[in-house]
Amino acid sequence: MITTRPRGTADILPEEAGRWRFVEDTFRRICREYNYREIRTPVFEHTELFERGVGDTTDIVEKEMYTFRDRGDRSVSLRPEGTAPVVRAYLESNLHSGPQPVKLYYTGAMFRYDKPQAGRYRQFHQLGVEALGSSHPALDAEMIAMIMDFYGRLGLKGLELHINSVGCPRCRLALKDELQNYLRPHAGELCINCKNRLERNPLRVLDCKEKNCDRIAVNAPTTLDCLCPDCGDHFDAVKEYLDRLGVVYQVDGRLVRGLDYYTHTAFEVMSTDIGSQSSIGGGGRYNGLVEACGGPPAPGVGFALGIERILLAMKGRGAYFPAGDRPDVFVVSADAECEKDAFDLLFALRKCGLGADMDYMGRSLKAQMKFAGKTGCRFVVILGGDELKRGSASVKDMTNGSQIELPLKGLAEEIKKLIGGN
RNA sequence: GUGGAUGUAGCUCAGGUGGUUAGAGUACCAGAUUGUGGCUCUGGGGGCCGUGGGUUCAAGUCCCAUCAUCCACCCCA
């Protein structure tokens, strides 16, 4: 059926698109202030990039990628996330041999073959930033502060910021041992998933939401219990920088993010009122990723935010959105003979930079007025035989209904003055 | 991938136990004395009742399948 969109996709209609633009514009502004520069990468990549970069044991790669073979028999995939492509570009264009860190931001569509539900789509849109080449804890803090700053400017409230450190690979190994020792006696009480996780990836038992698992996990050793001295220092420094900025956070030793490449700092922002898909943004440090992608050892930090979920949270809280675009002027012809003059006038107005439109449905004067009212225009210019004889036009202010007659010559400039005057 | 709910005009929804030409509100269009919006009144256009099967003399109404949406699990943005 050609009149239905693919499952899990959405059309962003004009009214909604205005809200998207508001979110995106706010993001771009903040990126400029924090000195992150835009990067645009392809919407599809070699499948191998995601297998290596995201991790081939993650759900994303195992069962959620849009993968296909192109006509040259190459396996390519629609990007399921933005970090791996940015890292690839960083390497491919030798950005790592320039001044570090390289601070980049991106916006765009991502694709995941999930079952759609509230706040979860197959094509969704992310805003993200990555800072490559520095392992300084102030950078982790800057990024977390930046997200909260961004949400604040959108008028989002009722958010929870959770932070954690998942340590380096050595810490993880230690934790894995500790966890398995703690969990094995409880194995019989865990859910089926967690029984499997116990041997393969016991970290994930920590944020299982099953009641029994949750109860057991509360007392389990966390990532924080197993941090090596270096990782502990790094995390303390991140917290200190956040404290200096007055950023409010909760340390959550059970926060384990799904992607394999995270090391050290991990963070996530939750909204309490958008349904079960409550995460509206998250990120962390990934010091092993660049190397895993075939580059030199280079650290990185980044985050990604979901636009759809941000919008959901904003609507849930009745957040402010700026008014949509509307024309400055609508040109109305009082009788059919004036239509061509109205057309000329319309283009004269536009040439002066005014947003202008007219009726294209052959409507009566009354209907044209009605239609003009619905466009939300500020002024209506009425052109009729009487006015034309005098070389003038009637200008009606739609906000108060007042009407004056002005000469056609220089009309656009006059209207500009009237708009500027308010 | 698993489970639950729903699917009637553009939109929001009515349509007891199956029975003639499927309704409302809203939106859209046109009128309400001769060149003017927002309020009010009147009229009008618009529906493969998601789709495909089945039961029945008869199905929007019952059964099955399928597709889609929503909700939860899972996962994550």
Model confidence pLDDT, tens digit, residues A6-23: 999 999 988 889 999 999
Type of residue at A340: K
A211 touches strand B (CB under 7 A): no
CA of A8 to C1' of B48 (A): 25
- Residues 103-142 of A, Cβ under 7 A from nucleic strand B: 112, 114-121, 124, 126
CA of A115 to C1' of B12 (A): 27
A391 touches strand B (CB under 7 A): no
Asked if A68 and A80 touch (Cβ cutoff 8 Å), the reply is no
Which residues are CB-contacts of A73 (< 8 A; sequence separation ≥ 6)?
A: none
SS3 category, A129: strand
The span from the CA of A228 to the CA of A263, in Å, is: 13
CA of A217 to C1' of B37 (A): 65
CA of A333 to C1' of B30 (A): 19
Type of residue at A91: L
What is the layout of strands, in order, in the sheet containing A37-38?
A37-38, A102-111, A123-132, A300-306, A279-285, A263-271, A159-165, A250-251
Which residues are CB-contacts of A342 (< 8 A; sequence separation ≥ 6)?
A: A331, A332, A333, A358, A383
pLDDT single digits (tens) A39-52:
999 999 999 999 99
* Residue range A288-309: mean pLDDT, rounded: 94
A389 touches strand B (CB under 7 A): no
What is the residue-averaged pLDDT of chain A?
91
Type of residue at A422: N
The span from the CA of A233 to the CA of A23, in Å, is: 36
* Residue range A185-211: mean pLDDT, rounded: 73
Structure tokens at A240: 């200190």
CA of A364 to C1' of B46 (A): 22
* R_g of chain A, CA atoms, integer Å: 28
Domains belonging to chain A, first-starting first, are 14-168+228-316 (3.30.930.10), 329-415 (3.40.50.800)
* Residue range A140-149: mean pLDDT, rounded: 97
Whether the per-residue pLDDT at A142 is higher than 70: the answer is yes
- Residues 131-190 of A, Cβ under 7 A from nucleic strand B: none
CA of A2 to C1' of B57 (A): 39
A370 touches strand B (CB under 7 A): yes
Type of residue at A401: G
A403 touches strand B (CB under 7 A): yes
SS3 category, A268: strand
* Residue range A70-89: mean pLDDT, rounded: 96
A306 touches strand B (CB under 7 A): yes
SS3 category, A103: strand
Whether a cis peptide bond, with omega within 30° of 0, leads into A101 is yes
If you measure CA to C1', which residue is closest to nucleotide B70? Answer: A117
pLDDT at A421: 63
Positions of chain B reached by protein Cβ under 7 A: 1-3, 28-31, 35-38, 67-77
A364 touches strand B (CB under 7 A): yes
Q: Could you tell me which residue, A217 or A77, shows the higher pLDDT?
A: A77
CA of A26 to C1' of B63 (A): 54
A281 touches strand B (CB under 7 A): yes
Distances A295 to A64, A289, A355 between C-alpha atoms, Å: 26, 9, 51
Q: Provide the CB-side half-sphere exposure for A12 (13 A, CA).
A: 13
A62 touches strand B (CB under 7 A): no
Structure tokens at A208: 């299982």
Structure tokens at A272: 């309490």
A257 touches strand B (CB under 7 A): yes
The span from the CA of A200 to the CA of A183, in Å, is: 13
Could you please report the per-residue DSSP string of A299-335?
Answer: -EEEEEEEHHHHHHHHHHTT---PPPP--SEEEEESS
Asked if A126 and A304 touch (Cβ cutoff 8 Å), the reply is yes
List residues bridging with A68 in a β-sheet: A76
User: Which has the minimum average pLDDT: A190-204, A263-277, A333-347?
Assistant: A190-204
Q: Is the confidence metric ipTM above 0.90 for this complex?
A: no
Asked if A351 and A361 touch (Cβ cutoff 8 Å), the reply is no
Kindly report the number of other CB atoms within 10 A of residue A228's CB atom. 13
pLDDT-based confidence at residue A310 (cuts at 50, 70, 90): very high
CA of A274 to C1' of B71 (A): 12
Whether the per-residue pLDDT at A1 is higher than 70: the answer is no
The span from the CA of A385 to the CA of A394, in Å, is: 11
Structure tokens at A160: 């929870």
A384 touches strand B (CB under 7 A): yes
* Residue range A65-92: mean pLDDT, rounded: 96
State which H helix or E strand residue A195 sits in.
helix A192-200
The angle at the Cα of A286, spanning A283 to A287, to the nearest 5 degrees, equals 155
pLDDT single digits (tens) A311-330:
999 988 878 888 888 999 99
